[in-house]
């Protein structure tokens, strides 16, 4: 690790012959806008970054190891706590993997419910991104507007599954509880309320000239770099690479829904930001379609009370809010997985920081870091 | 226990909500009360003269009377700055809260938490004063004083109403700008003395920003000085008295092109000078934690705060005097309300604009801030001066 | 030249639109409530603090098995003469510091109505670790009791202001 402050090399100013020294700036883990407990070791010359080193692990809870001693029903509870901003996606990825190994068929209604919940959670999660990114750039008000709308999504979740953050709603074989007509009416009310709000967000933040100059030319990731570093989700699509697991390898019947994948042009911070805003619009479309095709039926497949997976391995991945979330299960036929691994999109997206931060200003560090939209719960696991 | 209500329900018919009605009633009542009381009290300068006459008749020597009079005025100004700090913080919190669909402080004092900032002050006074181990102790203690002293001094010629100023200065505008520029030394000192890298960056940014924005701030009021023909705030105030066609106020902001442009440039430069969003890069909380005052706590920190709000108030009063006719009533029949209330009202409106900006806009980056200043604001300030010259040459003969 | 002015004016227009939005919300009623004086009711499905009915519990231990964070422990009564297990809890303890609020214990409970369930109470206030552990014995209230190591006795949990108004059973 070269984040030892003693190692920073002095640079020589060519023109003046003055000997200048670099400064080691320790950003985080208690910095207000490193989105959790990320530590960035920045070597700066004036306000320009010479070297950036993300240092992770402050939120490590050993979830993968813990899961080896939990049954599959209990595993969902822990999977919830990875990316706590979009717990539904984690549940979904985990359950899809379990069902794949089990060979279980999920009822139609449960699949639609899963889509509704995952997309609502995507909206909630992107709203957090939208709000906190506003704060990163210095606009505080969009944050509270975003949370006002997110509150409504959380209310919907609370009505349906009883929790507001860690839902434990999507279970192996289906979903935990059904929704009623009242819930559907509330959901439609939210969607109708939400669509004009998105236009307001665009006026307030997306096309604000200050916001544009702060983000449009900053943190550009070329498609080649993006693929080379294994980016996924909106971060990848902002660079113009059309890869969305929902369309590339549809799950839960995503192939039946009509939606477009938001693509950016240059791969700048603004593109990454705007991809998410457009994704919120698409999520609204998907939820509307899903609500209209909700047919009555079972919500839980007939599975044994005690799940015992056949020996073998399974990998399934979904398009979570922050990227391609994969779950790899190795089972030895016992009650708990023999080994379980999460392909956490945030962890992989975060690594690119050390390349794209070099040469940027200190103020841009926040803009770039915020635009990658990491959740440390998933990075450290 | 209350049922959950969504914005869709709450916003449908706001007047059916008891709290909304009560708030509107309170607000209207307070405004009406202020107007009523002020109309009874009348011009404050009259009362000042009466007080001075009373002091002179006490039989003290002229020197002592002068000293007492200076102390009275000093007490008034400092009291105003402190009271402004209390008021502005509460107001900022309420305005921001309501802009963000929140409530803000509601508990302390009863009506909309009006006592919140007073209690906060008590808290700040009782708070531990922390000096970091790596700080330069003397400079660390001196920095807040160096920051706030020019702020207090700069208020001397500020006009609070008709003939209501602590000192009558012929070069009032120049004096204010000169002293307002000194506070930056305190900020740089704070940044350096804290022994914290974030503070240092904040201090450096503040130095660059404030020194740069002095220029457009000064140049943007040159048209006003040209129109009024004086640097004296009282003369500038008097130059805007009266009405065109008997009802349209002769304020400088209504002078074609030059008036509006100067107003905009002065407003922008003032926002930058007071380190507020979108120009709050010295304290940019998302980048530099709290910038130059990261390592300050308790009363030292609140002195910085008072300075910031003091300058906001200064800028608000200057905006009111320069562009909105100072103590002049907007319509002839409203002249029964005394000038200091008009002045105060206009200044508060301008302060609201400051808050409004802060809670709407994101923050610029350092280099963009400089670019905006040197490549946009300053050249157009010069163009504006030329326009004002043309207006004076042909239009206002 | 024209493009320059166009840019300046469109920028200024965008600023004005932003200002208009915040001004519009300034006059809309707020959607929050001042919390400690006014409280919102959770929806019926809400998973709050766990309550236990020791009179209904049959001490089967399914909840303890279902719990992913092993926060439930219990012991069934034993007949003093036959030394046989009686389907009644001697004691039932919950470590709320470990509880995940996942609802698996409630789902696993075989009694009707449930003898362990999530109430609507969300105001769990603890000042030390001892208070996180709740204990139930026959005759204890539904919210359980907390062991006070200083007085060597059980006491009612403090801070749960609203538990009495809350739904007692699903």
- How far, in Å, CA of B226 to CA of B219, rounded? 11
**Is C39 or A159 the better-scoring residue by pLDDT?**
A159
Chain C residues inside the 8 Å CB shell of A78: 68
Q: Residues near B386 by Cβ (< 8 Å), separated by ≥ 6? A: none
Answer yes or no: is C152 within a domain: yes
**pLDDT (tens digit, 9 = 90+) per residue, C32-73?**
888 777 778 788 888 888 888 888 888 888 888 888 888 888
The H or E element that residue A113 is part of is helix A108-137
Indicate whether A3 pLDDT > 50. Answer: no
- Between chain A and chain C, how many beta carbons pairs sit less than 8 Å apart? 63
Q: Which of residues 137-156 of A touch B (CB under 8 A)?
A: 137-141, 144-145, 148, 152, 155
Asked if C21 has any chain B CB less than 8 Å from its own CB, the reply is yes
Residues C18 and C90 in one domain: no
Which domain range does residue C158 map to?
A: 50-165
Residues in chain B where the model's pLDDT stays below 70: 1-3, 284-286, 396-397
Residues C19 and C54 in one domain: no
CB B157 within 8 A of CB B233: yes
Question: What is the structure's pLDDT at B252?
Answer: 82
Residues C57 and C104 in one domain: yes
Residues C27 and C54 in one domain: no
Question: What is the structure's pLDDT at A123?
Answer: 92
Q: Give the three-class secondary structure for A218.
A: coil
**pLDDT (tens digit, 9 = 90+) per residue, A82-93?**
888 888 889 899
Domain spans, chain B: 133-395
Residues C22 and C69 in one domain: no
Helices (H), A138-251: 141-161, 181-201, 209-215, 223-228, 234-237, 245-248
- How far, in Å, CA of A280 to CA of B118, rounded? 43
Structural fold of domain A63-343: Cytochrome-c3 Hydrogenase; chain B (1.10.645)
Question: What is the structure's pLDDT at A328?
Answer: 92
Chain A residues inside the 8 Å CB shell of C14: 203, 207-209
Answer yes or no: is C21 within a domain: yes
What average pLDDT does range A185-198 have in this prediction? 90
Chain A residues inside the 8 Å CB shell of B359: 140-141
**pLDDT (tens digit, 9 = 90+) per residue, A232-243?**
888 888 888 888
Indicate whether A14 pLDDT > 80. Answer: no
Indicate whether A113 pLDDT > 80. Answer: yes
- How far, in Å, CA of B314 to CA of B354, rounded? 12
**How many residues belong to chain B?**
397
Chain C residues inside the 8 Å CB shell of B7: 31
Residues C71 and C136 in one domain: yes
Helices (H), chain C: 2-26, 62-66, 104-108, 129-132
Query: pTM for the whole thing?
Result: 0.86
Question: What is the structure's pLDDT at A356?
Answer: 86
How many domains are contained in chain C? Answer: 2
Answer yes or no: is C4 within a domain: yes
Contact at CB, B101 and A145, closer than 8 angstroms: yes
- What's the Cα-to-Cα distance from A181 to each of A184, A189, A294, B139, C169, rounded to whole Å? 5, 12, 11, 67, 24
Residues C81 and C121 in one domain: yes
Asked if C104 has any chain A CB less than 8 Å from its own CB, the reply is yes
- How far, in Å, CA of A358 to CA of C131, rounded? 50
What average pLDDT does range A253-272 have in this prediction? 87
Question: What is the structure's pLDDT at A381?
Answer: 82
**How many residues belong to chain C?**
170
pLDDT bin (cut points 50, 70, 90) of residue C162 is low
Q: Residues near A19 by Cβ (< 8 Å), separated by ≥ 6? A: A10, A12, A13
Asked if A191 has any chain B CB less than 8 Å from its own CB, the reply is no
Q: What percent of chain A has pLDDT over 90?
A: 7
Residues C7 and C81 in one domain: no
Is the complex ipTM higher than 0.85?
A: no
Indicate whether C141 pLDDT > 80. Answer: no
- Between chain A and chain B, how many beta carbons pairs sit less than 8 Å apart? 91
pLDDT bin (cut points 50, 70, 90) of residue A380 is confident
End-to-end CA gap in chain B? 70
What average pLDDT does range A269-293 have in this prediction? 90
Contact at CB, A141 and B99, closer than 8 angstroms: yes
Q: Give the three-class secondary structure for A317.
A: strand
For residue B81, say if its preceding peptide bond is cis, omega within 30 degrees of 0: no
CB A300 within 8 A of CB A107: yes
Indicate whether C160 pLDDT > 70. Answer: no
Chain B residues inside the 8 Å CB shell of C25: 98-101
Residues C106 and C135 in one domain: yes
Residues C7 and C54 in one domain: no
Residues C8 and C72 in one domain: no
pLDDT bin (cut points 50, 70, 90) of residue A2 is very low
Chain C residues inside the 8 Å CB shell of A153: none
pLDDT bin (cut points 50, 70, 90) of residue A351 is confident
pLDDT bin (cut points 50, 70, 90) of residue A127 is very high
End-to-end CA gap in chain C? 71
**pLDDT (tens digit, 9 = 90+) per residue, C6-31?**
888 888 888 888 888 888 888 888 88
pLDDT bin (cut points 50, 70, 90) of residue A6 is very low
Q: Supply the DSSP string of A1-40, one letter for each residue.
A: ----GGGPPPEE-TTT--EE--EEEEE-SS-TTSTTT-EE
Asked if B56 has any chain A CB less than 8 Å from its own CB, the reply is no
**Nearest Cα residue in chain C from A168:** C102
Buried b (16+ CB within 10 A) or exposed e, A131-162: bbbbbbbbbbbbbbbbbbbbbbbbbbbbbbbb
CB A225 within 8 A of CB A219: no
CATH number at residue C158: 3.30.70.3270
Mutate to test the interface with C, among B265, B360, B363, B384 (most CBs of C within 10 A): B360
Contact at CB, C11 and A200, closer than 8 angstroms: no
């Amino acid at each position: 690790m070269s984040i030892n402050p003693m190692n920073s090399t002095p640079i020589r100013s060519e023109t003046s012959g003055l000997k200048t020294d670099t400064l080691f700036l320790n950003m985080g883990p208690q910095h207000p806008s490193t989105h959790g407990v990320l530590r960035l070791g920045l070597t700066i010359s004036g306000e320009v970054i010479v070297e950036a080193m993300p240092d992770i692990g402050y939120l490590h809870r050993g979830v993968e190891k813990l899961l080896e001693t939990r049954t599959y029903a209990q595993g969902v509870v822990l999977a919830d706590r990875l990316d706590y901003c979009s717990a539904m996606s984690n549940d979904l990825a985990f359950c899809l993997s379990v069902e794949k190994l089990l060979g279980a068929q999920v009822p139609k209604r449960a699949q639609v419910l899963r889509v509704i919940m995952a997309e609502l959670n995507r909206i909630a999660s992107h709203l957090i991104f939208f709000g906190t990114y506003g704060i990163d750039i210095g606009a505080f008000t969009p944050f509270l507007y975003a949370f006002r709308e997110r509150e409504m999504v959380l209310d919907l979740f609370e009505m349906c599954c009883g929790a507001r953050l860690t839902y434990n709603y999507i279970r192996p074989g289906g979903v935990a509880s059904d929704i009623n007509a009242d819930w559907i009416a509330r959901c439609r009310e939210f969607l109708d309320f939400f669509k004009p709000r998105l236009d307001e967000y665009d006026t307030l933040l997306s096309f604000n000239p200050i916001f544009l100059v702060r983000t449009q030319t900053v943190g550009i990731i070329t498609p080649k770099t993006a693929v080379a570093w294994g980016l996924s989700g909106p971060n990848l699509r902002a660079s113009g690479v059309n890869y969305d697991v929902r369309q590339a390898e549809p799950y839960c019947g995503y192939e039946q829904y009509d939606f477009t994948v938001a693509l950016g042009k240059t791969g700048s911070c603004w593109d990454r930001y705007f991809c998410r805003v457009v994704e919120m619009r698409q999520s609204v479309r998907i939820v509307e379609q899903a609500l209209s095709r909700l047919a009555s039926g079972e919500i839980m497949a007939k599975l044994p009370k005690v799940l015992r997976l056949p020996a073998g391995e399974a990998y399934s991945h979904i398009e979570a809010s922050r990227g391609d979330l994969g779950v790899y299960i190795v089972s030895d036929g016992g009650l708990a997985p023999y080994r379980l691994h999460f392909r956490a999109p945030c962890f992989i997206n975060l690594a690119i920081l050390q390349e794209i931060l070099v040469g940027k200003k200190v103020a841009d560090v926040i803009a770039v870091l915020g635009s990658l939209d990491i959740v440390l719960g998933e990075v450290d696991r | 226990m209350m049922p959950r209500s969504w914005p869709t329900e709450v916003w449908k018919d706001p007047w059916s909500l008891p709290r909304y009605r009560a708030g509107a009633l309170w607000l209207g009542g307070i405004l009406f009360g202020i107007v009523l009381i002020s109309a009874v009290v009348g011009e404050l300068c009259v009362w000042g003269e009466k007080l001075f006459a009373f002091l002179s008749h006490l039989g003290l020597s002229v020197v002592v009377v002068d000293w007492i009079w200076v102390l009275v005025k000093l007490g008034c100004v400092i009291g105003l700055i402190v009271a402004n700090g209390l008021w502005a913080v509460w107001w900022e919190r309420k305005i921001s809260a309501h802009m963000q669909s929140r409530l803000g402080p509601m508990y302390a004092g009863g009506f909309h938490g009006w006592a919140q900032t007073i209690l906060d002050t008590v808290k700040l006074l009782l708070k531990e004063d922390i000096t970091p181990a790596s700080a330069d102790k003397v400079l660390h203690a001196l920095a807040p004083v160096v920051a706030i002293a020019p702020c207090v001094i700069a208020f001397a010629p500020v006009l609070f109403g008709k003939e209501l100023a602590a000192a009558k200065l012929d070069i009032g505008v120049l004096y204010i700008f000169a002293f307002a520029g000194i506070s930056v030394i305190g900020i740089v000192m704070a940044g350096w003395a804290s022994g914290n890298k974030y503070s240092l960056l904040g201090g450096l940014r503040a130095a660059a920003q404030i020194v740069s924005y002095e220029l457009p701030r000064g140049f943007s009021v040159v048209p006003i000085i040209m129109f009024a023909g004086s640097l004296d705030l009282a003369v500038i105030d008097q130059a805007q008295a009266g009405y065109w066609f008997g009802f349209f106020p002769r304020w400088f902001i209504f002078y074609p092109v030059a008036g509006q442009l100067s107003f905009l440039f002065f407003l922008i430069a003032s926002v930058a000078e007071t380190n507020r969003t979108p120009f709050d890069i010295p304290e940019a909380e998302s980048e530099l934690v709290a910038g130059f005052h990261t390592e300050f706590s308790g009363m030292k920190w609140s002195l910085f705060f008072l300075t910031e709000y003091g300058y906001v108030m200064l800028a608000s009063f200057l905006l009111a005097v320069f562009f909105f006719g100072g103590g002049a009533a907007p319509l002839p029949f409203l002249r029964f309300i005394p000038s200091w209330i008009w002045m105060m009202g206009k200044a508060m409106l301008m302060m609201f604009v400051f808050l409004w900006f802060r809670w709407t806009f994101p923050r610029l980056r350092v280099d963009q801030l400089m670019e905006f200043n040197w490549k946009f604001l300053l050249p157009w300030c010069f163009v504006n001066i030329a326009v004002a010259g043309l207006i004076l040459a042909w239009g206002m003969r | 030249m024209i493009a320059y002015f166009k840019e300046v004016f469109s920028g200024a227009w965008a600023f004005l639109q932003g200002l208009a939005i915040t001004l519009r919300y300034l006059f809309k009623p707020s959607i929050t409530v001042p919390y400690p004086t006014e409280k919102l009711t959770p929806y019926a499905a809400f998973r709050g603090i766990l309550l236990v009915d020791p009179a209904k519990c049959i001490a089967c231990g399914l909840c303890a098995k279902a719990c992913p964070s092993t926060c439930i422990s219990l012991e069934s009564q034993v007949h003093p003469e036959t030394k046989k297990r009686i389907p009644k809890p001697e004691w039932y303890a919950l470590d709320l510091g470990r509880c995940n609020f996942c609802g698996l214990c409630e789902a696993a409970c075989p009694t009707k109505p449930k003898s362990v369930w999530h109430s609507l109470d969300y105001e769990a206030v603890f000042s030390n670790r001892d208070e996180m552990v709740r204990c139930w014995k026959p005759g204890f209230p539904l919210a359980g009791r907390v062991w006070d190591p200083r007085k060597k006795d059980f006491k009612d949990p403090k801070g749960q202001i609203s538990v009495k108004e809350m739904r007692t059973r699903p």
